[in-house]
Structure 1
């Protein structure tokens, strides 16, 4: 309940309500883009300052290793489950969406942990960066395999009509790691590590004092977008809509089990759970529109932004943090 009384979360709820009643309230795309870049830059700086203070420890290496493991396991398992009830391309797209991460969900959780005086490591921002691309690469490989199988079965006289062209995983990986937002996050983290305590003091008005207000403004925009994307899910099977809630819970449980086995701290474990439970609605859809045009954008984008994102913001974050503190504390 305390999460709902947070001003940033209330602005998200307000945005959902405004979008539901079809208000003409909107955040200009350029402003929205600036807000997302600001949040990533501030997050990177905070992570870098924290790493400069703590240094590279064994827990840092273990946590980053768990993050990569989750980034591979989740899309692999999801694809195997989904392709039994969906077309292969839709299964690959949804697996990529839920195997990748939501930066805004992560940033909101960081703010939640800070407001509740729960310690966590600055390296978790690096964990978020590492978890973004593996699911995309795997989905492209799944789609290429499907196209090759289809080509072998329908080839006639050397002529083929394929909906999509196989793409090299290396190209997608390069685009993922050189994306401006991703690069800004990693660059800001490096700058924070180099400048340390002196940089933290100088940048505090930018990276700390403004953070809460900027997050509230951005969540207002996300609420508007979430409401406007719910329409794309009309007529979809109920089991698929349930998946948008149950899959994050299952992925968070997997992350919790790994964090418990590795004796990860409660704060870092909570962030691992949030990363595993989140679903991408920016980076992955942007890539999939070109990499897997056979999949339905309204399906994977509507599920992630229309259902999973609001669920995680309003219910998931306090749930994951509370469970992590109880199990890992």
Structure 2
């Protein structure tokens, strides 16, 4: 328990988390601090490119093997399965409609790439190694959850269908295209390619991440401020409990796959996180009747801060305890 608290305290006092906290407090205090949309978009594109490229280089260094393929399969299964768990929990403890419950559930099968990046930074700072192909695992977990959520909706209410427009939204979502594309570029060019642009993708990375999380804190704070009366206490409880359930599934999968301690921690983080980029975009197309105030507040205003401040240290401590 002491080591968990130690790691949590260390994480809370890191520049990355403190920048997020600054944004959150500024938004709740109604400060006019703001990032131009183009700047925020540019930072997110940079982070996606850097993490994807470095992941591809690591795979080129590691080579494609059975463990990589099994890890990708496990990622797809986790992403497809977790929305069913989330949906059942929501229907059991909240009064959300089947439509809203399914829309929320989709977010909890997909992933938050920023939470993944923050967790990777924590591992790097502590000198804990992990499999470079985990970025490919992250990419594989983006879309299956959306399909599961649509199946839940069609089964319960007859709404929601896998249209060609939605399929395009899923497959060509900007974050997925950039993450997968930069991963492939890093894989093809390998370590020699990384040497060429290392000054761009390594040195500025943490600084850009700090600014990006400052902006995310502002967005989350505004969401919390505007969601009063929309999100009930049972819904908030779900936003805090579901990450722990998802992380448990991820830890079991990581242990079965034989991943390193860092790899187990990262797949736990992915399973615990909730999407606030790809899935909301897909939900606007597939389930326009669902209430975005509920699913955005849960994923970005509750689960995202919980994972950054409490979840990451807990998941890492669990991975270390089980990995010995």
TM range (shorter): over 0.9
CA contact 1:39–1:215 (8 Å) conserved in 2: yes
**Residue 171 of structure 1, CA deviation:** 4.3
Pick the structure with greater CA Rg: 1
Deviations 1:11-34 (Å, cap 9, x if unpaired)? 111111111111000011111111
Deviations 1:205-244 (Å, cap 9, x if unpaired)? 1110110111001000000011110134423321110110
Which residue number in structure 1 is paired with residue 6 of structure 2? none
CA contact 2:90–2:235 (8 Å) conserved in 1: no
Note the residue ranges of structure 1 that are not aligned, 5 or more in a row.
149-163
Deviations 1:145-189 (Å, cap 9, x if unpaired)? 3443xxxxxxxxxxxxxxx6x432554333212122211111111
SS of the counterpart of 2:12?
A: coil
SS of the counterpart of 2:141?
A: helix
Q: Which deviates further from its counterpart, 301-310 or 279-288?
A: 279-288
| Aligned with 2:274 (options 261, 274, 279) | 279
- With normalisation by structure 2, the TM-score equals 0.92
| Aligned with 2:306 (options 296, 308, 311) | 311
Matched, 1:263 2:258: yes
Which residue number in structure 2 is paired with residue 157 of structure 1? none
**Residue 324 of structure 1, CA deviation:** 0.8
- Partner Cα distance (1:211, 1:78) in 2: 33
1:243-262 to structure 2, matched below 5 A, reads 243-262=238-257
Deviations 1:250-307 (Å, cap 9, x if unpaired)? 1101111222233221111111100000001111112212311221111111111111
- With normalisation by structure 1, the TM-score equals 0.91
Note the residue ranges of structure 2 that are not aligned, 5 or more in a row.
1-8
- Partner Cα distance (2:76, 2:113) in 1: 16
Which residue number in structure 1 is paired with residue 286 of structure 2? 291
| Aligned with 2:50 (options 42, 45, 66) | 42
CA contact 2:131–2:260 (8 Å) conserved in 1: no
Which residue number in structure 2 is paired with residue 195 of structure 1? 189
1:168-179 to structure 2, matched below 5 A, reads 168=162, 171-179=165-173
SS of the counterpart of 2:89?
A: helix
Which residue number in structure 2 is paired with residue 234 of structure 1? 228
Matched, 1:31 2:25: no
- Partner Cα distance (1:169, 1:275) in 2: 27
Matched, 1:205 2:215: no
1:2-151 to structure 2, matched below 5 A, reads 2-84=10-92, 85-148=95-158
CA contact 2:107–2:276 (8 Å) conserved in 1: yes
SS of the counterpart of 2:99?
A: helix
Deviations 1:55-104 (Å, cap 9, x if unpaired)? 11222122222211110110122223323442110110110011111011
Provide the aligned C-alpha RMSD in A. Answer: 1.5
SS of the counterpart of 1:83?
A: helix
SS of the counterpart of 2:171?
A: helix
Number of corresponding residues: 313
